Amino acid sequence: MNFRVASSPHNHVKNKTSRVMALVALACIPGIITQVWYFGFGTLFQILLAVSTAIIAEALCLQQRDYPVKKRLKDNSALLTGLLLGISLPPLAPWWIAVIGSLFAIIIAKQIYGGLGQNIFNPAMAGYVALLVSFPLSMTLWLPPLSLVEYDITLFDTLMLIFTGYSETGYSLAQLRVDLDGFTMATPLDTVKTGLTNQQTFSELSQLKIFSEQLGIGWTAVNLAYLFGGLVLIWMKVISWRIPLTFLVSLFLLSWVAHVVSPDGAASASLHLLSGATMFGAFFILTDPVSASTTPRGKIIFALLVALLVFLIRQYGGYPEAIAFAVLLANMCVPLIDYYTKPRVYGHAAR
């Protein structure tokens, strides 16, 4: 009987990188379908633009570094980066938003650091934050759910809005965001953030059309869809349960305490969990195997830190959505977290 002798580390994970990336991408499908159902076909076009640009940028970088392009592209990392970024963008954002964001994610946040496995920041979130800081107006023009929009938006209208800024009938995106009563609608988190800043109470804000039982219309279903996809990934052992569970429980407790202490000055815990990119971030962004902590205790500390940052930014910061900023800030702490949470070497006596 022949035995193979090799030095450590001994990796017993059967999944290849390409398969893991593909499974994560497939798990996004329920969430993508739900986004399209509530917010239109723009999400699909943003994904197509982001994925195409990411793959092209990755190929050019690999070619310049004399790496085998076809072999490296088969790891599906560029595809997943483009997919995650495309999902995060407003469905009707100008076409160049997805292109610039993908170029930044691949070239600046990934390849400059050495490529897959060497980047310290999550590439998709780095691209997203770069866009949010550089083009805040374009990045915050989310449409309300289609059921609340006054005008029907066809597939051709979607293409026209993305590439020209106007629909076939001449309506701009700003006009399409106005409901029947002349009120310009924003995302639930943005509505709460703006309203609380203007001295309105959470109870008053929850009566607006975009809310139903204090939950955002459309956004609740989207978050539940990504929750389903994330649970599938855990069941298939593609990702660990530690980061998503710790993050969601911590965010729930922080927001619940804040709401109990100040019911009119803080959003409910359910709104925090089921609005914005909470579930998408918990299962598909925080669990990035490269930029997140890799030790068992480190994963819990990393998730706790992200949850705290998300709560603080949403409650007291200038942006209503905080997942991307919180993840990048926590990414910077990962080397320190991993250093102090390294498991004790087997057979090493405790001091």
Give strand ranges (E) for 270-346.
Answer: none
Segment 14-72, tens digit of pLDDT:
568 899 999 999 999 999 999 999 999 999 999 999 999 999 999 999 999 889 998 88
Segment 147-172, tens digit of pLDDT:
777 778 888 999 999 999 888 888 88
Spatial separation of the C-alpha atoms in residues 268 and 253, rounded to whole Å: 11
Nearest to 230 by CA among 57, 62, 28, 52: 28
Spatial separation of the C-alpha atoms in residues 184 and 308, rounded to whole Å: 31
CB 277 within 8 A of CB 88: yes
Retrieve residue 30's tokens: 């329920």
Spatial separation of the C-alpha atoms in residues 333 and 293, rounded to whole Å: 9
What Å distances lie between residue 174 and 135, 164, 328, CA to CA?
A: 16, 13, 30
**Residue 68 φ/ψ, nearest 5 degrees:** -65, 110
Task: Of 6-15, 108-117, 291-300, 326-335, give the lowest mean pLDDT range.
Answer: 6-15
Q: Which residue ranges make up each domain of the chain?
A: 17-173+180-339
- Three-state DSSP at 184 gives strand
Mean pLDDT computed over 219-246: 96
> What is the pTM for the complete model shown?
0.90
What Å distances lie between residue 206 and 9, 117, 137, CA to CA?
A: 53, 44, 25
Nearest to 119 by CA among 340, 327, 342: 327
Residues whose CB falls within 8 Å of the CB of residue 91, separated by 6 or more in sequence, listed in order: 35, 39, 40, 41, 42, 43, 45, 46, 142, 143, 158
Spatial separation of the C-alpha atoms in residues 188 and 211, rounded to whole Å: 7
**How far is C-alpha 123 from the chain's CA centre?**
11
In this structure, which long-range contacts are made by residues 11-17, counting pairs with CB atoms below 8 Å and at least 24 apart in sequence? 15/238, 17/75, 17/76, 17/77, 17/116
pLDDT band per the 50, 70, 90 thresholds, residue 142: confident
Task: Of 81-90, 176-185, 306-315, give the lowest mean pLDDT range.
Answer: 176-185
AA identity, residue 208: L
